[in-house]
Structures are given as C-alpha cells and as structure tokens.
Structure 1
Amino acid sequence: MLHIRVITPASRTDEVLRIAADSPAVVNVLKLPGAAFDPEGDLVEFDVAREGANAVLADLKALGLKDTGGISVEQLDLSISTAAEAAEHAAPGDPEDAVVWEELSARTAAEARMTWSYFAFLALAVQIAAIGALLDQPILIVGAMVLGPDFGPVAAMCFGVLQRNVRLIGAAARTLAAGFAVAIAITLACAAVSRLIGWIEPTMLDDRPLTSFIIHPDRWSFVVAVLAGVAGILSMTARKSSALVGVFISVTTVPAAGNIAVAIALAHWNEVGASLVQLGVNLAGMIVAGIATLFIQRLMWSRLGRHDIAPHSPEVAAGQPTSGRVSG
C-alpha cells in the first residue's frame, strides 16, 4: 500500500475527494479542512493499493495540484486493515509487480544527476577493480562490482527512452560518461604513480587466468548484460534492492574501466581496446534490455485494464482528465 497526502486549495477539495471515492483501490480517506498553512488549503490523505496508484496520481496531477498545492507519496510497510486488504483484492494484479510510474520517474531523475557521492563510489570501485586485475584476485573484482553505482544512470537512460524524454537521456548519458572518465583518470593517475615508485610493473598483467575474462568480451558478455539489465529494471520497479546487488555482480563495466586505467599505465595497449569493447558491450546490453523490459511492463499493465499513463505523457502533460479507472 501507498499513503498519499494531498495539499489542495479549498476549491479543489471536492474533486480530490471524488477521485479518491471513485477508485476502489483507495481506502482510509481523511479530510482536514484548512489544515495546510503554506501553501494554504485543505489536507486530504488516503491509502491506495500500488496497482491503482497510477490512475489516482494521474488524475490528481490533472487538477494542477503540482502548482497550487502538493502531492506526497510514501510507502507503507505495514497496513493492518480489512479495507486495505479489500482494496488490494479489488485492483487486478499483484502489488509486488505494480510499476508506479511517478515513483520510477522520481528515482531515475535522481540517479541521472551528477553528485559527489556518485563520482566517489565509482572512482573507489574502479580503483579496487584495478587492484584486482593487477593481483589477479576475483574477490576484489566482485567487491568492485558491488560498489559501483553505474546502473543508476543506465536505468535513467532506459526510462528516458521509454518516455521520449531527451533531457533525461542526455543527463543520464553525461553522468555515466563523466563518471567513468573521472574514475578512469583517477585510477590511471594512481597507477602511474605506483609504477614510478616501483609498486607495479608491466609483467603483472601478463598472466592472470582468474581475471582474464575482463579482456575477452564475447557473445556471452552481451547475453549476461541483457539478463542483468532485465533483472536490474525489475529490481527497481519491484523495490527489490537485494536483487540489484546481483545485477552489479553480473556485469563487467567497473572491472573493464579499472583494467583500462592500469593497462594504459603499464602500456598494455591491446588490453585497453579489449576492455573498452567489454565496457561498451555490457552497457549496450543493459540499455537494450532495460528499455525492452520497461516497454513490456507498461504494455502488460495497460492490458490488465489499468489507467496506466506514464509521467510526461501527452495526456498528463496537457492537464487533461483521464478516463481510465481501476476496476474490481
């Protein structure tokens, strides 16, 4: 269940209540006249089954409440209510499979932004991967995979393509490219210094059977990336963070970036090209799979009879009321 809090001008309160009353997925409606101070207005709160949230949120946005009030959504981890159970049964499908497009839109927009924490985590991950490549230690490679935050911008790109949101696609692509460029540059600098002081030498990359997969991209690299892309999108839409960790471990983006840095520092130029191909193959596989997964999810939800218009669609953007309803 989701908890929705709406601050609305008094002139729109009846319409908000009508939207809540018309949806069988909504329960526990609360109205507090004049409770909102800034902006001034009434406060309406209610719970809604995840499967019916898209319809309700789209209709609330169509009232212009984004500009005249506010709409907040919170996840309810526990709801002890017979009415809530009935609302979930009334909405077709399962709440674990429901995609709340506004929620996904907000999350991917956040993932597309360049932040210091993103650069820091990616740089640390690439450096750990580089050390793993030098020492031929798979455990370090796996640790670097888990630490890398690069799937966030990939997911944002996928969602941007689905929404035809050029701005989101551009922001995610810039964040992804800048992140890897900065991480590789930092790792390269560290590797160059390490070579100067004698900590590493070119022969360290000559024979490393346990981590040689980094420089041998093939069809299986793409297949694994596709599977990881599907799993990554599903983990985000189903709110399964533990599954997302498995996605990080599956793809070879961070290890490839780390190997690029040390290969340049140690003049193993053939490995630079192979690692670049590995990085590109993995990113391409995840992007293609992510877009396809989101498209299929939207198609499946629309066929279940939901009002399932994703954010920024022409109907919502134009502020037009929509007619679809969750049906029991």
Structure 2
Amino acid sequence: MSATLLSTPVADAIVRVRGLSKTYAGGFQALKNVHLDIRRGEIFALLGPNGAGKTTLISVICGMTNATEGSVTADGFDTVRDYRAARSAIGLVPQELHTDSFETVWATVSFSRGLFGKPPNPALIEKILKDLSLWDKRDTKILALSGGMKRRVLIAKALSHEPKILFLDEPSAGVDVELRHDMWRLVRALRDAGTTIILTTHYIEEAEDMADRIGVIRQGELIVVEDKDVLMRKLGKKQLTLTLQHPMERVPESLARWPLALSADGHALTYSFDSQQEDTGIAALLRALGEHGIDFKDLHSSESSLEDIFVSLVHEQKAGQ
C-alpha cells in the first residue's frame, strides 16, 4: 500500500511537507520524497519501526536538521526562509533533557519562554506547572528530579511559548503509568484548546486511543496516511471463533465457501473476514454447521487492533521488496 497525498485545503493544513528527502553523509537516505499535511487541531500519530525516519522527519520540520530536498511550512511559514516565525509556532518535547541541570524548574521553563521573544507571563508558567503536577517542584533543581519529573519539565518547556503545534517524540518511553495518564489528559486538553499534536510512539495502543489520523513510515517512506477509523475499517480483520462440542478431523468440503481454519486439536473453528465485508455470512455459516451436525458450545468474536494493522503493513512492505 502506498501513502496517498490528501488534498487538504491550505487553510486547514498547519504543517505542509512536500517532496522531503534527507540523505546523510555516507549515502544513508533517512527520508524519501515524503509528502504530508497535518491538519489544524488534530492529533496525528506517526508510527514506524526503529530507524524508520520518525525522528528525522520531526527534526527537519522543527528546523534542527536540514533537508536534502523538499520544503516544509509550519503555520504558513517556510521553515528555512522564515525559520524564526516557523519555529515560534512549534513546541518540541524531545526524548531526553540534556541541559539546565543546575537550574530550577521555574527558571528553566521561564527561560524557554524568553528564548522565543515572549514577554514574562508568571501566571501562564504557574498554570503549566500545575497542569503537569510540577508546582511543588518549582524551586527544585533539575538534577534532583526523577526521570518522570524531568519528562514533565520537557513538556512544560515546550509549552512555555504557547505553540500552535506540539511535537511529542516518544513521550511515554520509560515513564510510569501515572505520568502517562497525566500526559494524555493534558494532550487531550491541548487538542481541545486548538493545539495541533504530532506524536511518535512505540505504545501503539495509545495511538489507537488518542489519534485522529495515523501515518506509518518505513525506511524513510510514508507507506500510509489515513484517518484512524477509516484505516481500521479498510485494513482490519474480524474473526469469529467457535469452540466445538466434539473435535473434528477436517472441515467438510461443502463448507469451503467460508474461509474456515480448524485448530490443531480439532476443537475450534475460526472464520476470518475483512472489517468492510458484510458479516451476514455468519448466520448462513451457523445454519450450515447445524445442517452438518456440527455443534458448538462457545462463540467469540474479535477484530484487529491498530497494532495488528501496523505489523501487517510493515510486513507487507518487507515482502514486496
């Protein structure tokens, strides 16, 4: 499957990426002709295996890495020609905090706001710290904080200049469950207030829960960009598993119209079909089983998760090479 460039109206796209490629010294091509529109006010999840190009794409959009080819605009500003204006629209939460160890939480967050030419706003800084449960740590030096608290500081720094676009690069990696839940509550509140959120994550269930749209990148190429619900309808699978009263040796040929799989021990039949496919065949299948004297004692249905779809997409691309 190839990614389709959606014709998002200019007014609705807060980030526009066109023909973006990045080749590092030595010839490694991290990004290959990437086209992407991020819509205002959405949560967009960028998924991909390690080394797929997620962090490189974010780095180019945020102006920290120069592209080899292509262009990016953020909130209408070209990230090369109008770097300062474009960058002021962006907040970035990286994976690690490497600086400010001897500064207090209040000082480092306030300083980050000043870096973007914003006037002091103690009330805003107080609100951000309270929202992130950092208020009681405001006078604590960064080096004295736990890893989870440092991650909260990263988010506070990114929000300090009131960006319209917030990038979260693996925000939940290595953090405790409480922080993860706090973080996603904050993300939802920011989205509801109009902030556009772009996140990369290894926790695919979070993308399934949070995202409006999904992009999958592999080996520097966007292989799919789609509304989450549409993606799961298009590529998802449904399964009906029947636990039999008596084991079978094989599926009768007269039931061949249904793609039935018999378990190794003969105790279960599984009927798989596409999510978009009408499932009216289930009733006919059950009638046919009855006509063949095949009784079942339990019935269980399930459907693909986003993780199942992600894995199938990545394996599909590998098989096609």
TM-score above 0.5: no
- TM-score between the two structures when normalised by the length of structure 1: 0.24
- More helix by percentage: 1
- TM-score between the two structures when normalised by the length of structure 2: 0.24
- More strand by percentage: 2
